[in-house]
Amino acid sequence: MASTTETSLQNRARHGLQLDTALAEQVLVRFIADAISKFGFTRAVVATSGGIDSALTCALAARALGPTNVLALMLPYRTGNPASRGDAETLVQALGVESHVIDVSQAVDGYLEELDDDTTPVRRGNVMARTRMIATYDQSEAFDALVAGTSNKTELLLGYGTLHGDMASAVNPIGDLYKTQVRQLAVALDLPSAILDKPPSADLWEGQSDEDELGFTYGVADEVLYLLVDEWHTPDEIVAGGYDADLVTEIRRRVQQTQFKRRPPVIAKLSDRTIDRDFRYPRDWGR
Amino acid sequence: MRDLRVALAQIRPRLGDVAHNLAIHLDYADRAVKAGCDVVVFPEQSLTGYFLSDLVAEVAVPRDDDSLQPILDASRDIDIVFGFIERTADHRFVPAAACASGGRLLHVHQKVYLVTYGLFDEARDLAAGRHVRAFDSAHGRQAMLICEDLWHPTSAALAAADGADVIFGLSSSPGRGVGGGASELGSAETWHALNRLYAQMLVCYMVHVNRVGFEDGVNFWGGSEVVAPDGTCLARAPNFEEALVVADLPDSRLRRQRTRLPLRRDENLELVSREFARIAGERRDGIDN
């Protein structure tokens, strides 16, 4: 077999990541309508940060369910970037969805003040994410809705999210879209330019940047992940294709290291039929 | 064959809810009768839904089960091709396609190629059939094949060699592949190519019926179609939407194409069977090549 050249592998990754946005929109809008209605609901709640992922989920949900059936929940913390809140409000205006603002500062700080030890930024960030989860699920009950998730495929594969925090949802329309594909679809849906143009940030502390924290850009991470996951390439082939060896090793390590975050809690097997092991029923059982 | 008017029943079954799905079958069959159709064709596992896992044991029935009687009754007015899970006398569960006609089951095809890779896990729950046979209906010689059967071109070739003028393909095909600059789903593109290839090269009508709806986040894309022996798509259902689509399959079109392109006449079954027997023998005896 002819060897794959550097250009062709990178080009193939970039080409493969090019989304048919009209088709993806069609499938995802139908998915949301189906997944929400199957369980007897008509509404969705989206924790809306002002970032591109939650903006896309919100926009898709608005198309699937109608804007008045979507609650964009804004959950600011006192150290958050004020621009995020402004971007979220711009989105709400543009989509015409319902919105509600709940400041989580007191809830987060109330818990943190109870602690004797010094916390770390990661721990504080996790507390914020999980406090937002509590608010989101509480509001889903009040709004008679299911929680629509905002974790994309890149974050999920890298484990770059808080388990039971921002990773928690009932239905996730964007979990099979890489970050660069989220952007393509957000552009196609004509989301506000302020949301499209700013650098990705979890906004858990001041000046936080996803790409600084990860140590690589989403653009290159998506190409490596696409080649590893979707195209079944080996890490060696990807390095031979022109990607940095340390980067490929690190991405591969992160995917393996965080596998537990993508699975339900492990159950110690005792009986003949253990849940999710040999007691396997579809989620859509009877629906 | 006799001129055939076929209805493609592109339905959205409810997963594991046979009573609900049975009602859908009777409704579509009734509508097909009113449209003057000779046969109505449903997708794979149309009575049960597709990703069943442990539900298989609950929805599987013997082919003579009383629960199928309403379909047999309705088949006095129209032939009904549908999909279910057959529980055999020795308690295997086999995905099956049945043709009900004149109040009885005319023929049952058991899926010969289970699909156990990627998102599919059929061989965990199901057993495979062992035969590909064409059968005679009042309208001519036909064959039924189920989804993965048709990803093995030999299955379609066997059905054609056994004389089928019309091949009914029953599918539950998940939609996937929205990248790489495609203008339609990767799975849809492949199926349209397969249907056209079989119709043209086996010189027969291909009637492919796929379902719609979602199961556990997986979409089924629909796009059911009829392809004529000359490769023309005679009718195609929309993607993603439930639909009943009617198409006429005239014998004259088959006659003219067989005259133009006598591929079936020239098919060398003796050569093919001799070479396949040789290859199978060498495989069995462990000769690598």
Mark yes or no for CB contact B55/A282 under 8 Å.
Answer: yes
A255 token code pair? 């995917």
Residue-level pLDDT at A1: 47
B279 is a domain residue: no
Closest CB from B16, B178, B181 relative to A27:
B178
B285 is a domain residue: no
Mark yes or no for CB contact B16/A31 under 8 Å.
Answer: no
B174 contact A CB<8A: no
B179 contact A CB<8A: yes
B98 is a domain residue: yes
Sign of CA dihedral B76, B82, B87, B90: positive
Residue of A nearest to B14 (CA): A287
Q: Domains in chain A, start-ordered, CATH in brackets? A: 19-207 (3.40.50.620)
Closest CB from B181, B182, B216 relative to A283:
B216
Mind telling me how many Å the CA of A38 is from chain B's nearest CA? 10
Mark yes or no for CB contact B215/A280 under 8 Å.
Answer: no
Per the listing, tokens 């409810």 go with B14
Domain range for B122 is 4-264
Mark yes or no for CB contact A18/B181 under 8 Å.
Answer: yes
Closest CB from A19, A31, A280 relative to B53:
A280
Whole-angstrom distance, CA of residue A4 vs CA of residue A2 = 6
CA angle (B60 as vertex; B124, A278 as ends), nearest 5: 35
Span B36-50, pLDDT tens digits: 999 999 999 999 999
For an interface test with A, the pick among B15, B120, B178, B216 (most A C-beta atoms closer than 10 Å) comes out as B178
Mind telling me how many Å the CA of A170 is from chain B's nearest CA? 11
Residue-level pLDDT at B289: 52
B229 is a domain residue: yes
Span A241-251, pLDDT tens digits: 999 999 999 99
Mark yes or no for CB contact B178/A34 under 8 Å.
Answer: no
A151 contact B CB<8A: no
Mind telling me how many Å the CA of B289 is from chain A's nearest CA? 18
Residue of B nearest to A13 (CA): B180
Full pLDDT tens readout for chain B, 289 residues: 999 999 999 999 999 999 999 999 999 999 999 999 999 999 999 999 999 999 999 999 999 999 999 999 999 999 999 999 999 999 999 999 999 999 999 999 999 999 999 999 999 999 999 999 999 999 999 999 999 999 999 999 999 999 999 999 999 999 988 888 767 898 999 999 999 999 999 999 999 999 999 999 999 999 999 999 999 999 999 999 999 999 999 999 999 999 999 999 999 999 999 999 999 999 988 866 5
CB atoms within 10 A of CB A68: 11
Average pLDDT of every residue of chain A: 94
Q: Is A179 exposed, middle or buried (CB count within 10 Å of its CB: 0-12, 13-18, 19+)? A: buried
B253 is a domain residue: yes
Residue-level pLDDT at B287: 66
B183 contact A CB<8A: yes
User: Which of B162, B172, B220, B170 lies closest to B195, judged by CA?
Assistant: B170
B164 contact A CB<8A: no
Whole-angstrom distance, CA of residue B223 vs CA of residue B58 = 30
Residue-level pLDDT at B230: 97
Whole-angstrom distance, CA of residue B81 vs CA of residue B71 = 10
Residues of B in contact with A27 (CB under 8 A): 175, 178, 219, 240
B189 contact A CB<8A: no
- Rg (C-alpha) for chain A, rounded Å, is 20
**Which residues 221-260 in chain A show a CB within 8 A of chain B?**
230
Residues of A in contact with B183 (CB under 8 A): 20, 23
Mark yes or no for CB contact B16/A20 under 8 Å.
Answer: no
Residue-level pLDDT at A7: 59
Mark yes or no for CB contact B55/A15 under 8 Å.
Answer: no
For an interface test with B, the pick among A25, A281, A283 (most B C-beta atoms closer than 10 Å) comes out as A281
Residue of B nearest to A175 (CA): B217
Residue A247 near residue A216, CB atoms below 8 Å? yes
Residues of A in contact with B15 (CB under 8 A): 282, 284-287
Mind telling me how many Å the CA of A39 is from chain B's nearest CA? 12
B248 is a domain residue: yes
In 3-state terms, what secondary structure has residue A102?
coil
CA distances for B85 relative to A282, B97, B122, angstroms: 17, 8, 12
Beta bridge partners of B213: B220
Q: What is the CATH number of the domain that holds B43?
A: 3.60.110.10
Residues of B in contact with A17 (CB under 8 A): 179
Q: Where are the alpha helices (DSSP H) in A159-217?
A: 179-188, 193-197, 210-214
Residue of B nearest to A283 (CA): B216
Residues near A271 by beta carbon (within 8 Å), at least 6 away in sequence: none
B120 contact A CB<8A: no
Mark yes or no for CB contact A30/B214 under 8 Å.
Answer: yes
Q: Low-confidence residues of chain A, pLDDT below 50?
A: 1-2, 4-6
B155 token code pair? 């299955």
B164 is a domain residue: yes
φ, ψ for residue B241, nearest 5 deg: -100, 145
Number of domains in chain B: 1
B288 is a domain residue: no
Residue-level pLDDT at A218: 95
Mark yes or no for CB contact A31/B219 under 8 Å.
Answer: yes
A17 contact B CB<8A: yes
Closest CB from A16, A30, A284 relative to B179:
A16
Mark yes or no for CB contact A31/B215 under 8 Å.
Answer: no
